[in-house]
Chain A
Amino acid sequence: MRGEQVNLQNIIARSATTVPSPQERTGGVDPVTKLIDVSRCIGCKACQVACAEWNDLRDEVGDNVGIYDNPLDLTPNTWQVMRFNEYENERGNLEWLIRKDNCMHCAEPGCLEACPAPGAIVQYANGIVDFNSEHCIGCGYCVTGCPFDVPRISEVDGKSYKCTLCSDRVFHGLEPACVKSCPTGSIMFGTRDDMLDLAETRSDFLRSRGYDNAGIYNPEGVDGTHVIYVLQHADKPQIYNDLPEDPRISPMVSAWKGVGKPLASAAIGLAALTGFFHYVTAGPKEHGEEDEQAVREDEEREAREEREERP
């Protein structure tokens, strides 16, 4: 099913765009979902590493601040983190709750709703919410719009980044990198129906093992998410390092859509227009042959020096 999604018509929503998607004409693509069963997570961070490896991300090497979490938070180069919490339950027993935190791929994505740049955020028919950074203008509205505090703006290129649910892999019939790596089967992937079924099975299992409030986290406030959790204590999502109890798109976003958007749109448009005229008059930026030659020589010299320095 997933391989067939490689077509030009599978975008169902595009930021700052009102024209209907051709997808609406056909449909027929199964939505996908990633299930994260917190009760099976050992916090090994394989998913974190696999994510960075697949997406060619190498974040800074940080510090230890007295906890297992690292990196401490999402960044433009870290699209998911494990959050650890030592929780003492009602019976006084210790539980080490470890939650993988990443983009939830909301059915009603606050980031997309808020985004003023056309096509910078898209939602595919399979449910993946993807950032097309080429069109991102770095305004940060997606950050405000996200009820889960996921997108991060890069200080290097001024664009916003987050988990893509490995849309490239999924379009090729593969599971996301984090899912594949997971050693304990804590992260699973499949069609939305299958994952909701599996989440029920896993919740039943937990209830049979004494977790009376085990259940699924698939918040209605954003019309459900394409990343769902199985929680031992579904009645208390906040104990999982502040997983929001009832996430909703920030009221700021509706405000922006009502009044602010035309104004902001004009302002952003003005900035864009400048670029547009530059583009029309000068054309796309291309390196002259001399420039390229110089760059090549520089690179070769650097590579040579590096080789010699290395052991």
Chain B
Amino acid sequence: MTLRVSRRQFFKLGAAGMATSSMAMMGFAPEPAVASIRHFKLTGAKITRSNCTYCSVGCGVLIYARGDAAINNVDDIYHVEGDPDHPVSRGSLCPKGAGLLDYIRSDSRLRYPQVREAGSNQWQRISWDEAFTRIARHMKDDRDANFVTQDDEGNTVNHWTTTGMLAASASTNETAYCTHKIARGLGMVAFDNQARV
């Protein structure tokens, strides 16, 4: 968008242009012809409609990514701002929402599965397959050892109380539903989410 005139082009334009100012003659103003000093950074970006996942206002956000989702491109999110169509937020965002970009791109984002072995002082990278296999083994061993079919009064209870789970209230309904289905299928009861606290 910015109309750039490079220094080299500037020279080609000749001395007439340079004569506009004594200072300019000395090399000061090679770029007078800019409509906007800063390049408009959204041109050509792919815009995706999304929702902020901090608080429960559920503000609409527009996520801007470099790249047009073409097969040869890995899209890179570089800007987030409010969605003016959203009836509640109408384009506004709070300081958390306005800073979403730094959450998406935080250095603290986890990138691959890791394990910390018993007594160890460090993380160790593992594959997804190893992670799933080891976790499933832990869970099955505990479930088989401690699953309660009948309680002390002889009631059928079929519950598993020795492995518990906290679900995430920033996850989607679809994640939550899937999580719930699995948790109860396993007979889990020590199961809560942030709504408890």
Chain A interfacial positions (CB closer than 8 Å to B): 5-8, 10-11, 14, 16-19, 44-50, 53-54, 116-119, 122, 130-135, 164, 167-169, 171-172, 177, 180-183, 265, 268-269, 272-273, 275-276, 279, 283-284, 307, 310-311
Contacts and interface: CB of A to CB of B under 8 A. Distances in A.
B27 A272 contact: yes
Given A46-B95, A183-B94, A311-B114, A17 B39 contact: no
Nearest to A172: B40
B108 interface: yes
Given A118-B23, A269-B23, A48 B7 contact: no
A307 B27 CA distance: 43
Given A16-B21, A283-B8, 9 more contacts: A17-B24, A49-B95, A118-B24, A119-B32, A132-B31, A172-B36, A180-B82, A311-B108, A311-B123
B31 A119 contact: yes
B80 A117 contact: no
Interface string B1-42: 101001110000000000011111011110111111111111
A181 B89 CA distance: 9
Q: Which of A18, A131, A134 has the most CB of B within 10 A?
A: A134
B107 interface: yes
A134 B37 CA distance: 9
B187 interface: no
B6 to A, nearest CB: 8
Nearest to A272: B26
Interface of B: 1, 3, 6-8, 20-24, 26-29, 31-42, 79-82, 84, 91-95, 97-99, 101-102, 107-111, 114, 123
A52 to B, nearest CB: 8
A17 to B, nearest CB: 5
A46 B40 contact: no
B27 A276 contact: yes
B21 A18 contact: yes
Given A118-B24, A172-B1, A272-B28, A311 B111 contact: yes
Contacts of A6: 1, 35-36
A279 B26 CA distance: 10
Given A118-B29, A181-B98, A269-B26, A168 B92 contact: no
14 contacts: A11-B32, A44-B95, A50-B98, A53-B99, A118-B23, A167-B36, A168-B39, A172-B36, A172-B42, A181-B81, A181-B93, A268-B23, A269-B26, A311-B111
